[in-house]
Chain A
Amino acid sequence: MTWEVVIGLEVHAELTTRTKMFCGCPTTFGASPNTQTCPICLGMPGTLPVINRRAIEFGVRTALAFNCRINTACRFARKHYYYPDMPKNFQISQYEEPLAEDGWLEIDVQGGTKRIGIQRLHMEEDVGKLIHDGTLETAPSSRVDFNRAGVPLMETVSKPELRSPEEAAAYLRAFRSVLMYLGVCDGNMEEGSMRCDANISLRRPGATELGTKVEIKNLNSFRNAQRALEFEVKRQAQALEAGEKIVQETRLFDADKGYTRSMRSKEYAHDYRYFPEPDLVPLKLEGAFVDGIRAALPELARAQQQRFVAQYGLPAYDAGILTQSRALAGYYEAAVSALAPGGSTASPASAKAVANWIMSELLRVVPGDDERAIAESPVPPAHLAGLIALIDDGTISGKIAKDVFEKMVRSREDARTIVQREGLTQVADTGAIAAIVDQVIAANPKAIADFKAGKTAAAKSLVGQVMKATQGKANPAIVNTLIEEKLAKV
C-alpha cells in the first residue's frame, strides 16, 4: 500500500541577542551554573518582565525573511505547566496573537524547489536546565541551572506541507540558513540553539482529511530529524496496514537506538491554561519600525546563489556550496574582488578559479558553515586571491600552488612571501629551460627513438623529466613548446 506522508515542523531557535527576553542578564552559553541570573529571570516574587526590543527586532527580521504578515498588535500570554526548570511555573509565550503569521520558506526538492507554508512565528522565553546526579529515574537529587531561563526563543510552526523525511531535512537546512544569514541565531543544534519537534501522520494519496498525528520531540540534528521521521513513517505504515489505529501521542526519538518511543498520550496532554500576560501591555509594531527592519534585510542564501550564477557565471552547484553560509559567500566575494583591482570586474575565469580553490582546498581546512572559523581562516580572502594571481601571471604553476596553499595554512603568511623565501618561482626563462631540454634529450636516446617510431607518448615522458630536473619550477607551457620544437628537428 502507498501512503502520503504529512509532516509539519516546529522549530525553536534561541536568538543571539546579548541579553535575555525579559531582563538584562547576558545570554552567553556555557557559563558556570546560575551566574547569569537576576531576580527577574529567577521568577522571584514581585518581579516583572520588560520586553527586549532587540529580540522583537530579530523576530520581525526573521518573519519578514519568511514572507510572513507581521501582526501590528501582538501580545504575550502565559503558558502554564509545572516543571522545576521553569522559575515561574509558567512560560511567557504568545498564543492567540503571535508576532507574525502566514509566510513561506522555499526548500530544495528533487528536480526543483518547493514553497512550504509557515503558519506562525512567535516569541517566548527559554527555560533552565536540570542536572541529574545520575539518570532522571535513579538520581537521588537533581540540580537546576537557570542561566538559560529567559533566553529569547523564537518558535516557528510550518504548515503540514512537508511530504517526506527528506523534505523535512531540506526544510531544516533552508530554515537554518535563513536564520544564520539574518544573524539572529547561531544555528548550533548540538548546543540546543535550534531545536525541532515534528508532527507526522500518514494518509491515503488523494485524501483530504489528515490522519492521526504523532508528535516527535528531541530531534537535535538534521540527520536525527530525518532518521526519526523515516522510522515513524515505517512504524505508522505497518500499524495502519495491520488495521491498527494510530494513537495521538508524543514520542521521543532515541538517537542511539534509532527508534521513537511513547512519552505521553493525549489523555495526559497538558492543559496550558493560556491567558494574556497581564504584566505586559500589547506590543504595537509600528509601520516605521517594521519598514526599517525590512530595508535592512540582508541578501539571503537563495538570492545570493542566483546572483552568483548570473554575476560570476558560476555553475549552480558551485554557487550553492559557496552560499552555505553568509561568511563563506562573503569570503568568496572578497577574494574575487581582490582579483579585480580598482573596481573592475573579475573575469569569469578567475571567478571560477576562486570557486574551485575554495571548494577543493579551503573547505578541507575550514568548515563552510562555521561563521567564526571562516572569519578566522588561516588563509584570508586576500591571501587566496594573491595565490591565484601568482598562477595567473605565471609566477608559479598550479601544482606548486597547492603546496604553497598548504604552507599558507600552516604559517598564515601570504603566497608571495612563501614563494619568494623558498625560491618556488616558476622558471620562464626560455634560454635556461632550453639548456635543460637539450640535456634531457641528450640523456634519453631511447625516448627519441620511440618518438621517431611514432610513440608520441615519449614526448610526455621527456616533459616530465624536464619538470623533475627543474623541481617543478619550469613553466610547463614553455617546456612543452620547446620539446615539440626540438623533437621536430631530430
Chain B
Amino acid sequence: MTDPTRLTAHELTDAFRSGAATPSAVTEAYLGRIAKLDGKVRAYLTVTDGRARAAAAASDARYRAGKPLGPLDGVPISYKDVLSTRGVKTTCGSRILESWVPPFDATVVTRLAAAGVVPLGKSNMDEFAMGSSTEHSAFQLTANPWDLARVPGGSSGGPAAAVAGDLAAISLGTDTGGSIRQPGAFCGIVGMKPTYGRVSRYGLVAFASSLDQIGPFAKDVRDAALVLRAIAGVDPADATSVDVPVPDYAASLGEGMRGLRVGVLEYDTAGMDPDVQRAVTAAIDVLKGLGATTQAVTLPTADHGLAAYYIIAPAEASSNLARYDGVKYGLRALGKDLIDMESRTRAAGFGAEVKRRIMLGTYALSSGYYDAYYGKAQKVRTLIRRDFDAAFEHVDVIVGPTTPGVAFKHGEKEDPLAMYLNDVFTVPANLSGNPGISVPCGFSTSGLPIGLHLVGRAFDEATILRVAYAYEQATTWRTRRPELA
C-alpha cells in the first residue's frame, strides 16, 4: 500500500477494519517519519512514543477482536501543547511552564482517548497561544512544510504543520482569534473553530476565556467532521459549554449545495494579496456551480473587530496569566523576598509578546479606563454578534478569505501590528462565537496554499462542514501535497 502517513483518518480506519494496515504499523510509520523529518519542521515539543505504541497495541487488539471504538480508533494524533495531558509536559510554548506536568487530562483528550486515538505527542505554538506565526514559542521555530523558510501560521502552528507535513493524521489546536483557521490556510489543510461552547475548554490552558475554542486540523473535511463529533458536547466541568445535541456531522456531509444560500463577504481589499482574492472569487464560482445561490453580505461592525479583540483578549489574558508567580508550580526565579521572586519569575518566564499583552490587558481593566476600553469593546462585540445574526437571516453560510495573504517568511513581520492584521477575517467569529472553518482553495503564484473561510450559524457546524465538503470534493487542491523528504 501507499505510505500510510499520506492517508486521512477515515482512510486509515478503513484500512484497519479491512486488515490492510494495523494501528501499530501506522504508528511506527509516523514515529519513524517524525524521527526523520521533524528536525526540519520542528512541529513537536514532546513526542510520546511510549504512549503512542501502547495505545496502538490496544487498538490493534480491538480491531483483531472486531470491536473498534469508532471511526477514529487507532488514528495518530498530535495535541497543541496548550491542552493538558496527564503525566505529559504541557508547556504552552512558555519558559514559565517548561517543566509543568498536569495531573489531569483535558476533556477533549479524555474523549479522544475514549475514541481510541494514538497520541503521538505535543506540538509547538506561540507562547500561551499569542501570535500568528508560532515564532513566539519560547522553544523553537516551526517551519511551514510547503516552504521551510516560512511560518506555518499560529498560534497553532505546530499541530497544523504536523498534519500538513504528514507527521500526524489529525491534530487539535485552539483558536482565540484565528489560531486554527489561519495556520490551516497557511499549511493547506482543513482547520475548524467550532461554536463557542460547543467543545469543553476544561484542560485548555486559558489565553482569553471568552474567545478560546478547541478544534481539529485534518487532511480533509470528513476527518474534521469525525474529530468534531468526538470532542463536541456539553461537559459538566465547563460551565460555558452548551447542551446542544451533537449531530453525526459525517453523515450529512454529502447533502450537497442545493438550496443553500451563500453570503459573499464584502471586504476591504487594501493590503490584500491578489492571489488570495483571485482564489476566493474562483471558489465562490465553484459553489455557484454546485447549485448555491449567492448574495453579498456586509458585517458593518466587523471593521472594529480587531480593535475590540485586542482589548478583550489581552484583558482576559492578563487575568488568566496572573497565576504564574513561581509560588505553586512552573518556573521559580530566586529573589530577595516574595515580590522580588514573583517579579523575577515573571520577567524570566514570559516572552516579549506575552508581556506586551499582559500590560495592554492590565491597562484596559484599570480603574478609570474600564468603561472606555473593556466596556466599549464588549459593546462592539455585541454589535458584531448582531451583524452576524442579521446576515444569517438571509444566508446559511458566509464565505471569504481566511487570511489577507499567504504564509510569510520567518522574521518578516516584526511589527506586532502587522502580525495582528493576519487575524482580520477570523477574529469576528471569535467575538460573536460563530463556528468557522478554513478549507484549501488554491495556491499562490509562489506555490503557497490559500484558505477559504466559511462561517456558519451558532451550533450549526453541520452546514459549514457540508459546504466545505461539497467544495473540497468538487476541486482537487487536496491532492497537492508538500514534499519534505
Residues of A within 8 A of B (CB): 39, 42-51, 78, 80, 82, 84, 87-90, 142, 144, 271-275, 278-281
Contacts and interface: CB of A to CB of B under 8 A. Distances in A.
Nearest to B106: A46
Contact of B328 (A78, A87, A90, A281): A87
B202 A46 contact: yes
Contact of A279 (B203, B239, B370): B239
B202 A47 contact: yes
B315 interface: yes
A48 B238 contact: yes
A156 B205 CA distance: 33
Nearest to B370: A275
A144 B329 CA distance: 13
Contact of B239 (A42, A90, A271, A281): A281
A45 B97 contact: yes
Name the 7 nearest CB pairs between A and B, nearest first.
A89-B322, A278-B209, A278-B210, A273-B365, A45-B205, A46-B84, A46-B203
B90 to A, nearest CB: 7
Nearest to B210: A278
Contacts of B97: 45
A59 to B, nearest CB: 17
A89 B239 contact: no
B91 to A, nearest CB: 10
B421 to A, nearest CB: 25
A275 B369 CA distance: 12
A205 to B, nearest CB: 34
Given A43-B328, A45-B206, A144-B327, 4 more contacts: A45-B92, A48-B201, A84-B338, A278-B209
Q: Which of A43, A82, A275 has the most CB of B within 10 A?
A: A275
23 contacts: A39-B102, A43-B323, A43-B328, A44-B102, A44-B104, A45-B90, A45-B205, A45-B206, A46-B104, A48-B238, A50-B236, A82-B342, A84-B327, A87-B328, A89-B322, A89-B325, A142-B338, A273-B366, A273-B370, A275-B365, A275-B374, A278-B240, A280-B239
Interface in B210-233: 210
Contacts of B240: 48, 278-281
A25 to B, nearest CB: 14
Contacts of A144: 327
A341 B319 CA distance: 65
A274 B375 CA distance: 12
Contacts of A46: 83-84, 90, 102, 104, 106, 202-206
Contacts of A275: 315-316, 319, 365, 370, 374
A42 B328 contact: yes
A45 B102 contact: yes
B281 interface: no
B367 interface: yes
Contacts of B327: 84, 144
Looking at chain A's contact residues, the main secondary structure is loop
Interface residues of B, number: 43
Contacts of A48: 201-202, 237-240
Nearest to A271: B367
A136 to B, nearest CB: 10
Interface of B: 83-84, 90, 92, 97, 100, 102-104, 106, 201-206, 208-210, 236-240, 315-316, 318-319, 322-323, 325, 327-329, 338-339, 342, 362, 365-367, 370, 374
A273 B102 CA distance: 29
Q: Which of B90, B92, B209, B339 has the most CB of A within 10 A?
A: B209
Contacts of B102: 39, 44-46
Contacts of A47: 202-203
Contacts of B100: 45
Nearest to A43: B323
B84 A45 contact: yes
B176 to A, nearest CB: 12
Q: Which of A49, A90, A279 has the most CB of B within 10 A?
A: A279
Contacts of A280: 239-240
Contacts of A49: 239
A314 to B, nearest CB: 50
Nearest to B84: A46
A47 B90 CA distance: 13
Contacts of B366: 271, 273
Nearest to A272: B367
Nearest to B209: A278
Contacts of A78: 319
B322 A90 contact: yes
A50 B239 contact: yes
Contacts of B315: 275
A250 B117 CA distance: 57
B280 to A, nearest CB: 33
Contacts of B374: 275
Contacts of B338: 84, 142
Nearest to B325: A89
A89 B237 CA distance: 21
A305 to B, nearest CB: 42
A273 B204 contact: no
Contacts of A51: 239
A292 to B, nearest CB: 22
A78 B239 CA distance: 16
A51 to B, nearest CB: 7
A281 B325 CA distance: 27
A88 B323 contact: yes
A274 B328 CA distance: 24
Contacts of B325: 82, 84, 89
A122 to B, nearest CB: 18
Contacts of B236: 50
A279 B339 CA distance: 28
A278 B339 CA distance: 28
A218 B210 CA distance: 37
A49 B374 CA distance: 23
A332 B27 CA distance: 75
A78 B374 CA distance: 14
A50 B84 CA distance: 18
Given A51-B239, A271-B366, A82 B209 contact: no
B237 A50 contact: yes
Contacts of A88: 322-323
A144 B325 CA distance: 14
A272 B84 CA distance: 29
Nearest to A51: B239
Contacts of A272: 367
Contacts of B322: 80, 82, 88-90
Contacts of A42: 328
A347 B238 CA distance: 60
B319 A87 contact: no
A45 B203 CA distance: 7
B360 to A, nearest CB: 13
A193 B366 CA distance: 32
A272 B362 CA distance: 10
Contacts of A278: 208-210, 240, 316
A196 to B, nearest CB: 26
A273 B106 CA distance: 29
B389 to A, nearest CB: 19
Contacts of B206: 45-46, 279
Given A48-B201, A281-B239, A39 B365 contact: no
B235 to A, nearest CB: 9
Nearest to A279: B209
A46 B203 CA distance: 4
A273 B206 CA distance: 18
A87 B320 CA distance: 11
Contacts of A274: 365, 370
A281 B234 CA distance: 14
